[in-house]
Amino acid sequence: MDVLNDETYMRLALDMASKAQGQTDINPVVGCVVVRDGRIVGLGAHLRRGEGHAEVHALRMAGDEAEGATAYVTLEPCSHHGRTPPCCERLIEAKVARVVVACTDPNPQVAGRGIARLREAGIEVSVGLLERESLLMNEMFNKFIVTRLPFVTMKSAMTLDGKLAAKTGDSRYVSGPQAREMVHTLRHRHMGIMIGAETALIDDPELTTRLSVPAVHPVRIVVDSRLRLPLEARMLQDLSVPVIVLTVEGADPGKRAALQAAGAEVVDCGDGKRVDLAIAMRKLGEREIGSILLEGGGKLNGAMLELGLIDKLLLFVAPKVIGGQAAPGVFQFEGFEKMAHAVPFRDVQVERIGADIFLSAYPEYGAGDRTSGA
């Protein structure tokens, strides 16, 4: 066993998998490299849901040279019949001698069964090489496949004094051009984009992915308790990408009918005055929307944070100050009574994107009891 070469080939498999992010729907991204006698004889990646998995593509390329080879796979080969046959059986049929797996599959239908099946067939299996990298790459899939709830990434841009916009509501542009370009890549990698009614009214966004390469456009989702989304909204003028309006049971029936006639899907989330965001997440999960990019205003961001519904934070900080007590902040909610009750974030990463500072982190909701301020 050559640990150095093992890592080299696994990194190649991870790199191949990463290039398919945003294309595989609710499926994970997976890469596979087949190596025999120190030569790469097969390469593959899962490119689209319902089509061949990474192992299938790599073994097809390797042909007869797969016999006695080592296969490097970024995720445990599947053992069940879904839209495609089990990958572990393909590896067995190809007579590979060894399989190196980055991490086990959290999918309850797999969960170690693929590895067990390979070992039963006499194939040597190693598990855990570059496991963290593989888990991070599929963090959205990993949550959805276990909970059936979407992984929510909150993206926002703010000034140094924590403002989303000026006191007039003007927000063009908080961040620089490099950051804005990166946002379109983020949209491509998520299955849905979610905003609140205020953002829809003020910005009238299309919420599409404008990249120089063909991109998968995520579903547009608007949290709109009072059904204020205008029928003339730009997102309703092009329904090649679906629009889902989340509202409450008692919302204006006339406007509901008009939005449905305009092509939007209107979904009731509770019978209160405001959309029950926990119910909303469950209903979006039922529609197999496994990941959401939250691009909301301060109120929606705050409500999602209070309920523990944000899984990851992506924040662009622009080197400018706008001021204004009335200018909206990134999180607007009643707040906690003590600093000890604040939501902490872990695994904080910081880098420069053009002139802006880019921060990514994960909230830790279990750190202490919290009581909202009076």
Residue 367 identity: A
Percentage of the chain beyond pLDDT 90 is 82
Q: What is the pLDDT of residues 7-32, one digit of tens each?
A: 999 999 999 999 999 889 899 999 99
Q: Half-sphere exposure of residue 301, counting CA atoms within 13 Å on the CB side?
A: 23
- The whole-number pLDDT of residue 3 equals 60
pTM: 0.92
Residue 53 identity: H
- The whole-number pLDDT of residue 108 equals 83
d(CA 135, CA 125): 19
Question: Does 198 qualify as catalytic in the annotation?
Answer: no
Residue 372 in this model has a pLDDT that exceeds 80 = no
Residue 373 in this model has a pLDDT that exceeds 80 = no
- The whole-number pLDDT of residue 12 equals 98
- The whole-number pLDDT of residue 198 equals 93
Average pLDDT, the chain: 92
- Start-to-end CA span in the chain (Å): 62
Nearest to 157 by CA among 354, 18, 290: 354
d(CA 277, CA 309): 8
User: Catalytic pick from 7, 51, 55, 181?
Assistant: 55
The three-state (H, E, C) secondary structure of the chain, written as one string:
CCHHHHHHHHHHHHHHHHCCCCCCCCCCCCEEEEEECCEEEEEEECCCCCCCCHHHHHHHHHHHHHCCCEEEECCCCCCCCCCCCCHHHHHHHCCCCEEEECCCCCCCCCCCHHHHHHHHCCCEEEECCCHHHHHHHCHHHHHHHHHCCCEEEEEEEEECCCECCCCCCCCCCCCCHHHHHHHHHHHHCCCEEEEEHHHHHHHCCCCCCCCCCCCCCCEEEEECCCCCCCCCCHHHCCCCCCEEEEECCCCCHHHHHHHHHCCCEEEECCCCCCCCHHHHHHHHHHCCCCEEEECCCHHHHHHHHHCCCCCEEEEEEECCCCCCCCCCECCCCCCECCHHHCCCEEEEEEEEECCEEEEEEEECCCCCCCCECC
Decide: 188 and 161 in contact? Cβ < 8 Å: no
- The whole-number pLDDT of residue 215 equals 61
Residues facing residue 40 across a β-bridge: 35
Residue 167 in this model has a pLDDT that exceeds 50 = yes
For residues 105 and 372, the model is more confident at: 105
Average pLDDT over residues 168-181: 91
Residue 305 in this model has a pLDDT that exceeds 80 = yes
Residue 101 in this model has a pLDDT that exceeds 80 = yes
The token pair at 248 is 């409450």
Residues facing residue 100 across a β-bridge: 72, 126
Nearest to 295 by CA among 313, 280, 279, 281: 313
Residue 332 in this model has a pLDDT that exceeds 50 = yes
Residue 231 in this model has a pLDDT that exceeds 50 = yes
Helices 3-18 and 54-62, axial angle in degrees (round to 10): 120
The token pair at 129 is 């090489």
